[in-house]
Structure 1
Amino acid sequence: MLGPFPADPKGPIVSNSSNPGDRPAAWYENWTEGPDSPWRHRPEPDFDHEYSTLTYERDGRIARITFNRPERGNAITPHTPRDLAHAVERADLDPRVHVILVSGRGKGFCGGYDLDLFAEQGFGGVDGPDEVAGTVLDPVVNAVNHNPHGVWDPMIDYAMMSRFTKGFASLLHANKPTVAKLHGFAIAGGTDIALHADQIICADDTKIGYPPTRTWGVPAAGLWAHRLGDQRAKRLLFTGDCISGAQAAEWGLAVESCPAAELDERTEALVARIARMPVNQLMMTKLALNAALNAQGVANSAMISTAFDGVSRHTREGYAFQTRAATVGFREAVRERDEPFGDHKRAQFER
């Protein structure tokens, strides 16, 4: 474990001189600070926007994106990837922001897709925004396409599901560093979000995994092998087992774990140190490191995984799970799925 680091390191040193050589600590200034800033005399950006699944706040050099459906375990709806992508782009465009922190309110980070919508109601309970009506995101269209008694068009499914993946991938493709703070649980689709972050920091007791590989799901992000390596990724996804935050750090999935009571303090220390770096240095470093990740085939992994995620929901077992969830409720269907593995009591929200 690195540190301990002060949560509030000494602030930037600003000089009134227009000569950069007269400012020995000018590298601590951001793009909008200093008399020679290109943003001098320019207004602050007007980013006023309301989100249905999260909140956005700029705190100095830190943009804070917080999932805000605690009563549903911050479960994913069709709004989530659109909200996240918009908020990430908002932070990326703001010259005052150096680092983006993503977290969740309530008992956990994100419990995956909202099965009350996607399984029990077969998409029929999703009230999407008006602009999705008649598109590949239209809930009615997808409900018809997921009818076990009808014909499944895999490309309608892919067109829909890939939009979720692209929204979550905004964390990876943002110019600026992204940090995910995990507590409680990051399960199933919640890992599709978290694994796209540049850094994961978590509480020791966080539950992390993708149980839907037992039926009705393949991780659409396709990032497990890239983050964990081949054998450890297969160990988790061949069984649907979960690991703790402490084990995630031991395996290299998280950069750090700590007792839950210390998570806020440790996270603030990390993002404060990142925020102290010049934003252009952060961007260049991220782009350089992402080049290596992209060379590993991340985009191809996401495409294949997203396609197979759709396939997994249309196998005999996938249809049986969806039908059972619609009949007895998804919690009972999840219990029946997980009981042979001995961990069904640990499931809360997930897909």
Structure 2
Amino acid sequence: MTYACFTVEIADHIAHIRFNRPGKANSMTPEFWKELPEAVDRISNDAEARVIVISSQGKHFTAGMDISVFMSGSLDGDSANAHVSAEAFRYKIKALQETFSALERARQPVLAAIQGGAIGAGVDLATACDCRYASADAFFAVQETAIGMTADVGTFPRLVKLIPEGWARQMAYTAERLPAAKALQIGLVNEVFDSHEDLLDGVMAIARKIAAHSPLAVAGCKALANYSRDHSTADTLDYISVWNAAMLRPDDIREAYVAKGEKRPPVFDGLKPVSR
């Protein structure tokens, strides 16, 4: 399937979504907000891939929301009935939020390879991914404050759970750039690579390690990590017991041990496709 703002390639159980509008700093046009969740949901449901990598072409990961998004749907609303317009606009925001929630909801882990700037909604996208990796020239900026608005498509509920709250607040209040080295220090990214090429090579190597494991076990890890983040320890322990009681697969455990003893890659059944 062809998309306006990115390409999708699936090979060796790795789905690679690559933003391909470098001349426009990979800004997120109206098409992007519809197409990305469609692509991610398709990958998640079809289950051909075991991990998703998101990267970009050009100098920057993404400049965030394209100005055309602000111009469509009329931000000004109906001045004669501002409250009714505001109620309707809330649903437009919720639709935009769903674009990145699709990354969080995907059955497969999502790895972000971030080069150059992850600006505005780019931070929202990155924080919805499972793991983030950066090139040495990368930076993150919650840019919305600088253009007179409050970030609304995922920054606050996710960023404050990934890094110290004080840093999340400082980024939002000041709209300053957080460089890759500081992002690594405070835990926003897992690793920093010297160049764009090293970044993609490194992230793909991590993706291959994930793809080599039992897809069922990896999907369980993601589901339980997400659940744990949003629930108490007691609730999560109970949920884990129910999950493993239903989905712990002895065949996968046996295959992992046998393959190790035979010094060969293990062979696991993939996840089953689910209907859309």
TM range (shorter): 0.7 to 0.9
Equivalent residues in 2 for 1:36-47 (5 A)?
Answer: none
Tell me, in whole angstroms, the C-alpha distance in 2 between the residues paired with 1:148 and 1:253: 40
TM-score normalized with structure 2 length: 0.77
2:181 corresponds in structure 1 to 246
Aligned residue number for residue 287 of structure 1: 223
For 1:134, the equivalent position in structure 2 comes to none
Q: What does residue 231 of structure 1 align with?
A: 166
Among 90, 113, 123, which residue is 1:181 paired with?
113
CA offsets, 1:41-72, max 9 Å, x none?
xxxxxxxx221111111011100111122211
In the alignment, structure 1 residue 74 sits paired with structure 2 residue 26: yes
SS at match of 1:85: helix
Match of 1:207 in 2: 139
CA contact (8 A) 2:117 2:140 kept: yes
Q: 1:255 maps to which residue?
A: 190
Query: For 1:200 and 1:147, how far apart are their aligned partners in 2?
Result: 37
Is the contact between residue 55 and residue 200 of structure 2 (CA under 8 Å) also seen in structure 1? no
Greater fraction of residues in helix: 2
* Cα RMSD for the two superposed structures: 1.8
* 2-structure distance, mates of 1:259, 1:211: 25
Q: Distance in 2 between matches of 1:238 and 1:290?
A: 27
CA 1:150 to 1:109, structure 2 compared with 1: closer, same or farther past 3 Å? Answer: farther
Q: Deviations over 1:13-64 (max 9, x none)?
A: xxxxxxxxxxxxxxxxxxxxxxxxxxxxxxxxxxxx2211111110111001
Distance in 1 (alpha carbons) for counterparts of 2:87 and 2:229: 27
Kindly indicate whether the alpha-carbon contact (under 8 Å) linking 2:181 and 2:192 is maintained by their aligned counterparts in 1: yes
> 1:150, CA displacement in angstroms?
5.9
1:113 touches 1:189 (CA, 8 Å); kept in 2? yes
Candidates 62, 83, 103, aligned match of 2:35: 83
Q: How far apart are 1:210 and its partner, in Å?
A: 0.9
Q: Which has the higher contact order (CA 8 A, sep 6+)?
A: 1
Provide the C-alpha distance between the structure 2 equivalents of 1:63 and 1:288, rounded to a whole number of angstroms: 22
Partner of 1:51: 3
Question: Which residue does the alignment assign to 1:197?
Answer: 129
Q: CA deviation at 1:83?
A: 1.0
1:147 shift after superposition: 5.4
What is the CA distance between 1:96 and its match in structure 2?
Answer: 2.9
Cα deviation for residue 151 of structure 1 reads 4.8
Distance 1:281 1:274 in 2: 10
Deviation of 1:295 after TM superposition, in Å, equals 2.8
- Cα displacement (A) at 1:81: 2.2
Counterpart of 2:88? Answer: 156
Three-state SS of the structure 1 residue aligned to 2:60 is coil
* 1:92-131 matched pairs, under 5 angstroms: 92-115=44-67, 117-118=68-69, 123=71
Please give the secondary structure, in 2, of the residue aligned with 1:238.
helix
Letter in 2 for 1:235: Q
Instruction: Tell me if the contact between 1:172 and 1:196 (Cα under 8 Å) persists in the aligned partners.
Output: yes
How far off is 1:229 after superposition?
A: 2.7
Counterpart CA distance in 1 for 2:89 and 2:231 is 27
| TM-score, with structure 1 as normaliser | 0.61
Identity %: 23
Question: What letter matches 1:69 in structure 2?
Answer: R
Is 1:146 matched up with 2:82? Answer: no
List alignment gaps of at least 5 residues for structure 1.
1-48, 124-138, 297-351
Q: Map Cα deviations across residues 68-104 of structure 1 (whole Å, 9 max, x no partner).
A: 2221111011211221111111211233311000111
Q: Distance in 1 between matches of 2:223 and 2:130?
A: 11
Counterpart in 1 of 2:236?
none
User: CA 1:204–1:151 in 2, change beyond 3 Å: closer, same or farther?
Assistant: farther
**Distance (whole Å) between structure 2 residues aligned to residue 150 and residue 63 of structure 1:** 48
Partner of 2:16: 64
1:268-279 equivalent positions in 2, closer than 5 A: 268-279=204-215
- 1:60 touches 1:96 (CA, 8 Å); kept in 2? no
In the alignment of these two chains, the number of paired residues is: 226
